Amino acid sequence: MNNQNNKKNDNNNNNFFNDNPMLAFGIFALAMIIIFKSLVNDDGLNNIMGDQKIAKTEKVKYSDIKQYIKDDKVQSVKITSSTIEAIDKSGNIKFIAQNVPAFDEKLIPLMEERNITYEGRIGEGLMAELIGMLLPIFIFFGIWLFLAKKMSKGMGGILGAGRADKLINSEKPNVKFDDVQGVQEAKDEVVEIVDFLKFPERYIELGAKIPKGLLLVGPPGTGKTLLAKAVAGEASVPFFSVSGSSFIEMFVGVGASRVRDLFEQAKKDAPSIIFIDEIDAIGKSRASGGQMGGNDEREQTLNQLLAEMDGFGTDTPVIVLAATNRPETLDAALLRAGRFDRQVLVDKPDFDGRLAILKVHSKDVKLSENVDLEIVAKQTAGLAGADLANIINEAALLAGRLNKKVIEQSELLEAIERSFVGLEKKNRKVSEVEKRIVAYHESGHALMAELTKGATRVTKVSIIPRGLGALGYTLHLPDEEDRFLKQKHELMAEIDVFLGGRAAEEIFIGEISTGAGNDLDRATAILKDMITVYGMSDVAGLMVLSRRQSSFLGGGHISNDFSEKMAQDIDANIKATLTERYEFVKKTLKEYDGAIEKMAEVLLDVEVIEGSTVRSIIEEYEKEQGMESRLAHTKKEV
């Protein structure tokens, strides 16, 4: 009977606890309290009584105990509902009678007559017994629940060490493209993936090759993860995600097996998306490994990743998205065709983008009607989407603290201030020396852009650090709406503009910094393309020597099929042209030194200047010097 009850309880409790973890914990806590209490009150006393000198415990019948009491052999008695314990006069022996029949009322007068101390209550005994019965169950489930939670949440424990199931996040996000704002170009790049994931058969039947891997490149918090989720959300396919950095602290071999499991799962659930955050943690260039001996674990993981990406064909509707804010550190093998051969820039949002992001995030909070999000967008230049989301939330917290019903402009402005203070602490502030270098560098670009025919005019010059490691930037917008073709003189103009930055550093700072590296890289790439792709030089004539594959971030070429001799000629030609252009650019900057000085001075003062300001500075200088105007863009103002 007892046993059966026990089992029934057991089962009930099992379901009950699974469904109500909070309640289970409550019961567990209660059980602990009861144990504690019973230790202090009841059993505690019992122990003191009993353990003093009792040498022997004897199981006897109830009738025997009654007889001992009658015979005055007993000094104390303890009664519960179902047992009676009696300790003999010597205090050496404890008699215990179980299965006591219904409580015997005659017993008490009997004990009183003989001056026997007695204690106990029937109700209490019953309760104690019940607790005694249930307590182990409570404790067991408490511990079990606790462990179960730990296992599922944490690192997978000992059981999960090799298996990846617990370490890979799998979800079906309901994020949509509308939730991602301010990164239109990136969204445009990924729409075709959504269609492919929705209707893979169409593409596969046609034999169309959809990129397997796409690298999302951009500063932290700009919405790379969000965009990847939105792709999965729009296509309503499963989203498997891992973080590159979590591979590094693993045991040797675990990372690789995790990559294998990741792809296995994704292929099983195809069409699907794999998202690898912080891919630079595993995909660091092997050449730039750093420490001696390198990191075996990372290398194994990277190799496994490469193998997996090569291992499935374009007919498997699995797309691998990866995110990084340091694309320049990635191993070239990762960027090769059939791997992450497409790169999508997810940059910090401009004014319109910021406004749109603020609108998205203010949907979930209560804004006062007279809040002006445009002002917020204006004051948050340089912030990423995550910062903006944070500002809205911070404002909501502030309003809550002030016990307001809605968020007002004042909370938003306060939140902006706080976020900038936080950023200043986080980001190393740009030093004055660096600012000066950047101001002259950007002025050099701007001047060349304004004086060179075929270059695009300047829209804005800024020395506020923005985007990927750029300390400043000169924004050019083409005069016409869309341009698909470029003429030779326009390409040459681009080279002059690129060289302007470095030339300005050399002339006005007197020393060259590393800041121009990217400019030179791009200038070189343009020249190389002119020779090997577009047939614009005497070196190769009309012969096409390289097939273009991607032009983004300086892009690579699939095939370079030319002789060693030709390679030398190309190199020599590029070098000669660059030297010639560089001399010309330096000469121009020297002629306009007053204009550059002025531009740099204004930039250092206000940090951002419009294209129109650049032009009027140049014009003024030309007048001052009595020069004929060489401004190349005299059409409409931007």
Residues serving a catalytic function are: 442
- Residue 457 is classified by DSSP as P
- Residue 113: CB atoms within 10 A of its CB come to 11
C-alpha 113/C-alpha 121 separation (Å) is 20
Least Cβ distance, residue 521 to Zn ion (angstroms):
10
Select the binding partner of residue 360 from ligand ADP, Zn ion, none (C-beta < 5 to 8 A, by kind). Answer: ligand ADP
Give the interface with ligand ADP as residue ranges (CB under 6 A): 180-183, 218, 220-226, 323, 357, 360, 385-386, 389
Could you give the CA distance from residue 472 to residue 451 in angstroms, rounded to a whole number? 20
611 binds, among ligand ADP, Zn ion, none (CB under 5 to 8 A by kind): none
Nearer to ligand ADP, 182 or 500 (CB): 182
User: Least distance in Å: CB of 348 to Zn ion?
Assistant: 18
Residue closer to Zn ion (CB basis): 13 or 513: 513
Neighbour-count burial for 338-350, b at 16+ CB within 10 Å, e otherwise: ebbbbbbbbbbbe
- CA atoms of 243 and 279, how far apart (whole Å): 7
CB 41 within 8 A of CB 155: no
- Helix pair 184-198, 224-235: axis angle to 10 deg: 30
* Residue 554's binding partner out of Zn ion, ligand ADP, none, with CB under 5 to 8 Å set by partner kind: none
Inter-residue contact 498 to 519 (CB < 8 Å):
yes
| In contact, 411 and 423? CB cutoff 8 Å | no
Q: Which residues bind Zn ion (CB under 5 A)?
A: 501, 519
**Residue 224 binding: pick among ligand ADP, Zn ion, none (C-beta 5-8 Å cut-off by kind):** ligand ADP
Q: Which residue is nearest to ligand ADP (CB)?
A: 385
- At closest approach, how far in Å is the CB of 42 from ligand ADP? 56
The SS3 assignment for 491 reads helix
CA-to-CA separations, 173 to 177, 179, 225, 239, 240, in angstroms, rounded: 12, 12, 11, 7, 10
295 vs 518, beta carbon nearer Zn ion: 518
Q: CA–CA separation, 350 vs 475, rounded Å?
A: 12
Tell me the CA distances in angstroms from 103 to 79, 100, 133, 182, one per residue in order. 9, 7, 22, 82
181 or 474: CB nearest ligand ADP: 181
Q: Which of ligand ADP, Zn ion, none does residue 60 bind (CB under 5 to 8 Å by kind)?
A: none
Separation of alpha carbons 16 and 26, rounded Å: 13
What is the three-state SS of 428-455? CCCCHHHHHHHHHHHHHHHHHHHHCCCC
What is the rounded CA–CA span in Å between residue 294 and residue 287? 9
Q: Which two tokens stand for residue 612?
A: 């129109």
Number of H helices, E strands in the chain: 23, 16
**Could you tell me the smallest distance in angstroms from the CB atom of residue 494 to Zn ion?**
12
- Specify the residue, 27 or 357, whose C-beta has the smaller distance to ligand ADP: 357
Q: Which does 357 bind (CB under 5 to 8 A by kind): ligand ADP, Zn ion, none?
A: ligand ADP
The site partner of 371 among ligand ADP, Zn ion, none (C-beta below 5 to 8 Å per kind) is none
The minimum distance between CB 460 and ligand ADP, in angstroms, equals 21
Task: Tell me how far, at minimum, the Cβ of 281 lies from ligand ADP, in Å.
Answer: 14
Query: CB-wise, 376 or 461, nearer to Zn ion?
Result: 461
Structure-token pair, residue 511? 């020393």
Is the CB of 69 or the CB of 279 nearer to ligand ADP?
279
